[in-house]
Amino acid sequence: MPMGLASRMAANDGIQFCVFDSRRGQQEGQEIDKILFFFPPDSPFSAQLSVVGLSGGIITFTRLFSPDAACEVIEEERHSHVFYQAEPDIWMILIVEKNRDTESVWRCDALRDILKEVHSLFTMFNGPLQTLLDKQPSGELARSCLYTFITDYLTDFHVGKKIQMPSFRDCLKERRTVQMLTVSREMAIEVQSLANVIRSSSGSIACKSLILFQDLLVATMLSPGDTANMFAYAVLRLTPHALSSNTRSWSYLRRGVSASNVTESATLLNAGSRTEEYPHGSRDTSPGRHSQRNYIPRPLQRDKWSKGKDGFLVSDVRDEVHITPIVWLQETEEHMYLCVYQHRNLTIILLIPVSSLIDGEQGIALVKKQLLENASEKIAYVEEKISKGWGGENAYHVSGYRYLLVDSDRSISRASPPGKVTTLAKDSFLALNKLREEVDLEKARASREKPDHEHNFEMCIRAKNNAWIIAKIAQGRELYMVLEKANETLLYASEAVEKFSNRYCDGAFSLD
Amino acid sequence: MSGKASSDQSQVALNGSGALSHVYIQHPPLRCNVPGIQGLYYDDGNKLLLAPSSDQVLSWKVGTSTQLDPPSSDFVGEGPVLSIRYSLDGKLIGIQRSNHEIQFKNRETGGTFSQRCKPDSESILGFIWTDCPSCDVILIKTSGIDLLSYEPDLNTFRLAETKRLSVSWYVYTHESRMVLLASGMQCTIFSGFQFSSAGIVRLPKFEMAMVKAEANHKPVLTAEDIHIVTIYGRIYCLQCDRVGMRLNVYRFYRDAVVQQGTIPIYSTRVAVSVIDNVLLVHQVDAKVVILYDIFLDCLSPISAPLPLLLRGTSVNNRQALQVEDNLTSAYNAMIYGDNWIFLVPDLICDSDNGLLWRIFLDLEAIAASSSDVPSVLEFLQRRRSDPSKIKMLCLTIIRAIMLERRPISIITKAIDVLVISYAHLVKMDNVIHGADRNSKRNQNSGSQSTTTSIVASAEFSGETMNRGKSITGVENESQRSTIRNLEDANVNYAEKSNSKASFNSLSDLDGDRNHDVMRSNSGELVGNSSSTDLLSSDAMKDINRSTSLQDSSYLKQPSVQSEGLACSSSRSDACVSNQQETQFTNVAISPDEMYDSIFASVEEELGGDPAYLIAVIIEFLRCSTKEKLRVHPNIYKLIIQILVRTSSYSELALFVTNKILEPSKEVALQLLEQGHQNSQIRKLGMDMLRHLSLHHDFVTVLLQDGYYLEALRYARKQKVITVHPSLFLEAAVAANNSQHLAAVLRFFSDFTPSFKITSDYNRYHMILSEMS
């Protein structure tokens, strides 16, 4: 690792983020062509190249021993490099700086989840990167899409002027999972009935919908993977909470953290620097110029969505015409129009196959009209009923416990409410973070040895502050727990888990 | 019944019978054209058609059969006959000989006696037999009514009571037990009495409205203009206003008569029939009939005016059409002829030709004439005449609209109708069974005569709360059934038919309910259950005072019973034929039948659109849940199959975790079975097994999947000893893990007594030593 890279990075936000295509730029002197995205964008090319070069080298090297799963992480004294193979030839690297202070402790899998999330969200709106590259081999389309998308995505991690990656304090959260609202059977049927009304009013069998209440999922017709992506997006940008926080942060963003004027700066930077140093013919279409000719959607742009008068959220208005965003579903490999209707706390995401509407925006307008006619009464009813039965943000708090429950098969998680989690001592967090790292390793090892077998195991440690830190894996479900005010004995701790499992997990963790 | 057969049938059913009509009379008519008879009389109390000849009277029982039994005859001696009625127990015959004399004859002894009036000051308008406790015959005279009580020993009548009032003419139907006495210049002022087994109710005097034709000409109301009809157990009166060309509809409450509105008429002569609680207004001059269903007090017609059809009986449809053609040409002139007399409630007597026609509703045609499916289903669910046929029709309609892919909103409403109807039946059934038990107890203690009958109009929802307060109790059913018991000499059978065929309840149960109603309505507890009748009347006043004219206090009759009453003389017959049907079928469609006849059978035909079927089933579940009906696990299994077939795994997972599919062993096993394609679904099935504490099955499934150590731990924890040790051992051998095998072997040696002496132990011990 050349020291130069680290020293230059220190001046930045403490992270580097790189996406590269290992097949491109094979000839000497053209290595820069590998790079599809680099953050910070103003890094000199030498620095970019050194990251890509190192990563590519390590990947090639580790493949010698482990052809299927190459390098996952490099730990340096002052940096962690987290690798993610997003597509067969597409790699994403996140480099985070280890500060002297103790706050920069994290779990590599949590960081990798960020890479996964960026990639899956990107794929949802733009399709797989490889497809973009195939469509336009020069890579400019892919670059400009990635540039706006990832930069918009990273605005969510801004704390002050710095980018703050998730740390050990976030170990009772699981990215890329869905948080569900628990409803009674009666309510579930009502919701399902509403989903059917929505589907039928769209006039197409292939329509799909998701229903959210506040930031919780109530019903979905998508596969777990697509659901997780759509849910993540909704919570980031669509739910009432997301909408209001967008408007609140508006003025702050305007002042300069490059969020709203990403495209402009990209134009300057990329067009300027690259044409200077690498005057290739193909470079003529720089992202900036391209974006002026071709419309590049920026679904993650803050303040993108606003609620229209008819209850539908609107995103892009160009030439006074609404442009409905299009998403790409992994499961069916279909392009869908994304329509969002919001009534108070209820957000309804309606996905209409692009292929089913011949007349585009007009057709969507008709579907919207029908939805309002057929379903608005029912939507109001369901919203009211759920609101009445909703226990508030601490609804899923279990006193005495701080927990995280993950159903990895279905990409669902539930955790103690954030307000309650923050009451934990730092030692507890650190211990849990450590424990989770161990569990991650154990899980990875077990699934390498016996891929088709469910692995059940349990870990329990006593932290410095005498808190019990427990992890229990059973039949694909994971339970992490911190008991700070627990008794001395391990027996007490395991009874506490048993009690929790029986009451809140249908006994899923009390198998033995 | 198979889906295929019924769908073929449905083609025919929904198309109706070819000719456009909703109401028909069936050929051949009942024939009673015996030579020498002097007119035909209808005794609606006994459902007898009476034909006096020179010195005797022939009587036909008009039952539900299509043919009349041979008439029985009674010798009555010579003399003019103005009207003739048999007593309700059939022991006496009353014949009005003149305006001043009625002759009575005891059929057993042959003795006769006469009842006369003062020839100069009054004349007899008619008489009726009653089952009112205080009298047997009511004599209606121009000067008032006499209540006469029969003295069998003296073979004469004793005057029980006289009510003085001037009477121009009267109308009476036995069905309603209601007599309306007209007086006044235009005969528009009415007094009303109801003589039921529960006692006598006197209605307040009321006046009917008439439109004036010209300034000086005031029309006079005649008896033919007044029709008393009993619909859904409520008593209505239809007054024909020939000048205004309309029927005024009045409904009778205990203490009030309320005009409900008007029905326009298109003929100066109208007749009224009630068939299965559907009101038929025959526009005689126009030769069409218009149908009304006034269940919701809605006076708009349910059909366009259409002619009355004469229908042949042939089974074959084409042949039937031909026959119909022939018949139409033969009888066309006869339909709505001048000689037609409309009898209460559903008969037409052709007095000239001695023919008796029964009117039928063509429910298929009515159903086919409207596109508003939910209303059609509501209409059908209110019908009681031919339960199995109506049920079939409803199922056919639902299936048809599903196959047509009507919008979910329509299907939802249609399903709601059926489910709600069934839910009512279930609720009522509980009540009836309760009453049944009570009435048995009553009979055992021989207390029938002391229990006043509170009639349960069990059928119709909104009214059930008020049944305790109903005063009609037209017949003391248990007395009646006792009589029948004697006749049939079959106590058990009659008991059954009584409780099932007519939804009657008498008893403390009702008394208790009365108390409850009382408490909730007026906040005070009145009387006690032994004097229900009194209680109810007191209660009535209280409630009326507080709630003015709510439905809580109308006069009413049990709907099903009205059928039973209408043919009381042939009642036992009716019971025989109806008993099985009423016992086993009802128009209401149970969730199981919904599954069998709709969801399961329609699935294949809907093949291309499983989401639609799922949507429909969800609506069905929604409504069933709301009505707290249990749904058969088969429906859940069907949902699982469809969702797995369409790979909608996340929806299925959602359905299971949200318990939309209620957990049960069947559902769990189905999930496991379908989970071969998707381990996630299989896991849901296992979770369900564990959650239902089906530990044995859970352990077995774990073993099947090769999780023998987990299975062993779970078995130990939940103390499952029913799974044979060899299954665990075999799984460990299959995994080819000698350590695990040793552990399992050790486990059973330690925890299962005498395991060491079994052959299993030796066998696996051998295997283990070979492995290591």
Q: Is B721 left (phi over 0), alpha (psi -120 to 50) or beta?
A: alpha
In a domain, A326, yes or no: yes
Looking at the predicted structure, is the pLDDT value of residue B7 above 50?
Answer: no
B704 at A interface, C-beta within 8 A: no
What does the alpha-carbon distance between residue B513 and residue B535 come to, in Å, rounded to a whole number? Answer: 12
- Which CATH number does the domain housing residue A83 bear? 3.30.450.30
Given a contact cutoff of 8 angstroms between Cβ atoms, the answer to whether A352 and A367 are in contact is: yes
Which amino acid is located at B282 in the chain? H
Reported ipTM: 0.88
Q: Which residues of A touch B649 (CB under 8 A)?
A: 223-224
* A210 to chain B: closest CA residue: B651
What pLDDT is stored for residue B656 in this prediction? 93
Are A467 and A371 within one domain? no
Among A323, A356, A389, the domain-final residue is A389
What pLDDT is stored for residue B6 in this prediction? 38
Asked if the Cβ–Cβ distance from A197 to B408 is below 8 Å, we say: yes
What does the alpha-carbon distance between residue A217 and residue A239 come to, in Å, rounded to a whole number? Answer: 11
Show which of residues 165-194 on chain A sit within 8 Å of chain B, judged by CB atoms: 180, 183, 185-186, 188-190, 192-193
Q: Which residues of B touch A475 (CB under 8 A)?
A: 683, 686
- Which CATH number does the domain housing residue A447 bear? 3.30.450
Q: Is B713 left (phi over 0), alpha (psi -120 to 50) or beta?
A: alpha
Show which of residues 613-632 on chain B sit within 8 Å of chain A, judged by CB atoms: 614-615, 618-619, 621-622, 625-626
Are A375 and A430 within one domain? no
* A506 to chain B: closest CA residue: B691
Asked if the Cβ–Cβ distance from B650 to A196 is below 8 Å, we say: no
What pLDDT is stored for residue A322 in this prediction? 74
Classify strands A162-163 and A158-159 as parallel, antiparallel or unpaired: antiparallel
What pLDDT is stored for residue B318 in this prediction? 56
Give whole-number Cα distances, A168 to A172, A408, A438, B754, in Å: 9, 20, 14, 54
Contacts of A261 (CB under 8 A, 6+ apart): none
Nearest chain B CA: its distance from A189 CA (Å): 6
pLDDT band at B115 (very low <50, low <70, confident <90, very high): confident
Give whole-number Cα distances, B529 to A107, A226, B451, B507, B538, in Å: 77, 66, 10, 8, 13
Q: Name the DSSP letter for residue B71.
A: P
Are A150 and A23 within one domain? yes
Q: What is the dihedral of CA A348, A353, A357, A360, to 10 degrees?
A: 70
Nearest chain A CA: its distance from B619 CA (Å): 6
- Tell me the average pLDDT across B731-737: 88
Which amino acid is located at B452 in the chain? T
A502 at B interface, C-beta within 8 A: no
Q: And the tokens for B310?
A: 């004469």
Are A29 and A158 within one domain? yes
Which amino acid is located at A470 in the chain? I
Q: And the tokens for A255?
A: 């002042």
Give φ, ψ of B571 to 5 degrees: -60, -45
Contacts of A345 (CB under 8 A, 6+ apart): A213, A214, A240, A383, A386, A387, A390
For A196, the closest of B615, B625, B662 (CB atoms) is B615
Show which of residues 428-457 on chain B sit within 8 Å of chain A, judged by CB atoms: none
Asked if the Cβ–Cβ distance from B717 to A475 is below 8 Å, we say: no
**Nearest C-alpha neighbor of A196 from the set B375, B662, B591, B620:** B620
- Per-residue pLDDT reduced to its tens digit, B191-219: 999 998 888 889 889 998 888 777 677 78
In a domain, A108, yes or no: yes
Nearest chain A CA: its distance from B281 CA (Å): 39
What pLDDT is stored for residue B435 in this prediction? 56
What does the alpha-carbon distance between residue B468 and residue A69 come to, in Å, rounded to a whole number? Answer: 80
What pLDDT is stored for residue B8 in this prediction? 38
- A203 exposure class (CB count in 10 Å sphere: 0-12, 13-18, 19+): middle
Looking at the predicted structure, is the pLDDT value of residue B467 above 80?
Answer: no
Q: Name the DSSP letter for residue B757.
A: G
Provide the residue count of chain A. 512
In a domain, A7, yes or no: no
Among A166, A196, A220, the domain-final residue is A166
Q: What is the dihedral of CA B446, B451, B453, B459, to 10 degrees?
A: -70
Q: And the tokens for B69?
A: 């039994």
What pLDDT is stored for residue A418 in this prediction? 93
In a domain, A394, yes or no: no
Looking at the predicted structure, is the pLDDT value of residue B483 above 50?
Answer: no
* B661 to chain A: closest CA residue: A185
Asked if the Cβ–Cβ distance from A512 to B622 is below 8 Å, we say: no
The packing angle between helices B408-444 and B610-626, to 10°, is 40
The per-residue b/e assignment along A11-30, b for 16 or more CB within 10 angstroms, e otherwise, is ebbbbbbbbbbbebbeeeee
B714 at A interface, C-beta within 8 A: yes
Give the three-class secondary structure for B505: strand
**Nearest C-alpha neighbor of A226 from the set A152, A298, A176:** A176
Enclosing H/E stretch for A339: strand A334-343
Are A370 and A472 within one domain? no
Looking at the predicted structure, is the pLDDT value of residue B454 above 80?
Answer: no
Alpha helical stretches, state H, A271-422: 272-277, 287-293, 360-389, 418-421
Asked if the Cβ–Cβ distance from A410 to B650 is below 8 Å, we say: yes
Q: Which residues of A touch B624 (CB under 8 A)?
A: none
Strand partners, A473: A457, A478
**Nearest C-alpha neighbor of A440 from the set A8, A106, A22:** A106
Nearest chain B CA: its distance from A197 CA (Å): 7
B658 at A interface, C-beta within 8 A: yes
Asked if the Cβ–Cβ distance from A508 to B614 is below 8 Å, we say: no
- Find the domain containing A44 and state its range: 15-166
What does the alpha-carbon distance between residue A149 and residue A298 come to, in Å, rounded to a whole number? Answer: 6
B736 at A interface, C-beta within 8 A: no
Strand partners, B271: B282
Q: Is B706 left (phi over 0), alpha (psi -120 to 50) or beta?
A: left
Domain count, chain A: 3
Enclosing H/E stretch for A158: strand A158-159
Nearest chain A CA: its distance from B747 CA (Å): 14
Asked if the Cβ–Cβ distance from B622 to A507 is below 8 Å, we say: no
Asked if the Cβ–Cβ distance from B680 to A409 is below 8 Å, we say: yes
Looking at the predicted structure, is the pLDDT value of residue B10 above 50?
Answer: no
Nearest chain B CA: its distance from A201 CA (Å): 9
What pLDDT is stored for residue A287 in this prediction? 44
Asked if the Cβ–Cβ distance from B713 to A512 is below 8 Å, we say: yes
- Per-residue pLDDT reduced to its tens digit, B405-452: 888 889 999 999 999 999 988 888 777 666 555 554 444 444 333 333
- Per-residue pLDDT reduced to its tens digit, B160-180: 889 999 999 999 999 889 999
In a domain, A1, yes or no: no
What does the alpha-carbon distance between residue B659 and residue B667 come to, in Å, rounded to a whole number? Answer: 11
pLDDT band at B248 (very low <50, low <70, confident <90, very high): very high
- Tell me the average pLDDT across B547-555: 36
Q: And the tokens for B492?
A: 């058990």
- Per-residue pLDDT reduced to its tens digit, B646-703: 888 888 999 999 999 999 999 999 999 998 888 889 999 999 999 999 999 999 999 9
Listed range (A218-232, B56-70, B338-352) with the worst mean pLDDT:
B56-70
pLDDT band at B508 (very low <50, low <70, confident <90, very high): very low
In the block, residue with structure tokens 């127990």: B89
Looking at the predicted structure, is the pLDDT value of residue B533 above 90?
Answer: no
What pLDDT is stored for residue B563 in this prediction? 35
Are A321 and A362 within one domain? yes
Asked if the Cβ–Cβ distance from B655 to A192 is below 8 Å, we say: yes
In a domain, A290, yes or no: yes
Annotate A401-463 with DSSP letters as a single string: -EEEEEETTTTEEEE--HHHHTTS-HHHHHHHHHHHHHHHHHHHHHHHH-TTS---EEEEEE-
What pLDDT is stored for residue B521 in this prediction? 35
Give φ, ψ of B37 to 5 degrees: -85, 150
What does the alpha-carbon distance between residue B598 and residue A138 come to, in Å, rounded to a whole number? Answer: 59
Asked if the Cβ–Cβ distance from A183 to B658 is below 8 Å, we say: yes
What pLDDT is stored for residue A265 in this prediction? 43
Q: Which residues of B touch A189 (CB under 8 A)?
A: 618, 621-622, 625, 660
Are A151 and A226 within one domain? no
- Per-residue pLDDT reduced to its tens digit, B660-673: 999 999 999 999 99
Nearest chain B CA: its distance from A512 CA (Å): 5
Q: And the tokens for B457?
A: 């109009």
Q: Which residues of B touch A409 (CB under 8 A)?
A: 679-680, 683
Asked if the Cβ–Cβ distance from A507 to B618 is below 8 Å, we say: no
Are A230 and A112 within one domain? no
CATH class of B11-212+220-366: mainly beta
Average pLDDT, chain B: 76
Classify strands A346-353 and A334-343 as parallel, antiparallel or unpaired: antiparallel
- Hey, what long-range contacts does B639-648 have (CB within 8 A, 24 or more apart)? B639/B614, B640/B667, B640/B670, B640/B671, B640/B674, B641/B670, B641/B674, B642/B603, B642/B610, B642/B613, B642/B614, B643/B610, B643/B614, B644/B674, B644/B677, B644/B678, B644/B681, B645/B610, B646/B610, B646/B611, B648/A221
Looking at the predicted structure, is the pLDDT value of residue B493 above 80?
Answer: no
Listed range (A68-82, B127-141, B144-158, B201-215) with the worst mean pLDDT:
B201-215
Given a contact cutoff of 8 angstroms between Cβ atoms, the answer to whether B361 and B385 are in contact is: yes
In a domain, A330, yes or no: yes
Which amino acid is located at A120 in the chain? S
In the block, residue with structure tokens 């799984």: B731
What pLDDT is stored for residue B426 in this prediction? 87
Asked if the Cβ–Cβ distance from A506 to B690 is below 8 Å, we say: yes
SS3 content of chain A, % helix, strand, coil (to 5): 45, 20, 35
- Tell me the average pLDDT across B24-44: 82
Written as tens digits, the pLDDT of chain A (512 aa) is 444 444 444 445 588 999 999 999 888 888 899 999 999 999 999 999 999 999 999 999 999 988 888 889 999 888 999 999 999 999 999 999 887 776 778 999 999 999 999 999 999 999 999 999 999 999 999 999 999 999 999 998 988 778 888 899 999 999 999 999 999 999 999 999 999 889 888 776 678 999 999 999 999 999 989 999 999 999 999 999 998 876 554 434 333 333 334 444 444 344 333 333 333 333 333 344 344 445 778 889 888 888 988 999 988 776 667 788 999 999 889 999 999 999 999 999 999 999 888 888 888 988 999 999 989 999 999 999 999 999 998 999 999 899 999 998 889 999 999 999 999 999 999 999 999 999 999 998 888 888 878 888 899 999 999 999 999 998 889 999 999 987 778 888 889 999 999 999 888 888 77
* B679 to chain A: closest CA residue: A409
Are A384 and A410 within one domain? no
Asked if the Cβ–Cβ distance from A409 to B655 is below 8 Å, we say: no
Q: And the tokens for A347?
A: 């957000």
In Å, how far from its chain's centre is CA A332?
A: 20
Given a contact cutoff of 8 angstroms between Cβ atoms, the answer to whether A403 and A500 are in contact is: yes
What pLDDT is stored for residue A450 in this prediction? 82
Q: And the tokens for B124?
A: 């007899």
Report the Cα–Cα distance between both ends of chain B, in Å, rounded.
63
**Nearest C-alpha neighbor of A6 from the set B446, B535, A15:** A15
In a domain, A511, yes or no: no
What does the alpha-carbon distance between residue B343 and residue B358 come to, in Å, rounded to a whole number? Answer: 10
Give me the total of CB pairs closer than 8 Å, taking one residue from chain A and one from chain B: 90
What does the alpha-carbon distance between residue B206 and residue B182 come to, in Å, rounded to a whole number? Answer: 10
What does the alpha-carbon distance between residue A229 and residue A127 come to, in Å, rounded to a whole number? Answer: 13
Nearest chain A CA: its distance from B369 CA (Å): 27
Q: And the tokens for A443?
A: 């899980």
What pLDDT is stored for residue B450 in this prediction? 34
What does the alpha-carbon distance between residue A395 and residue A412 come to, in Å, rounded to a whole number? Answer: 17
What does the alpha-carbon distance between residue A123 and residue B53 come to, in Å, rounded to a whole number? Answer: 98
- Per-residue pLDDT reduced to its tens digit, B601-634: 888 887 777 888 999 999 999 999 999 998 989 9
Q: Which residues of B touch A224 (CB under 8 A)?
A: 649-650
Are A112 and A83 within one domain? yes
Asked if the Cβ–Cβ distance from B717 to A511 is below 8 Å, we say: yes
Are A371 and A408 within one domain? no
What pLDDT is stored for residue B481 in this prediction? 40
What does the alpha-carbon distance between residue B275 and residue B342 come to, in Å, rounded to a whole number? Answer: 12
Which amino acid is located at A61 in the chain? F
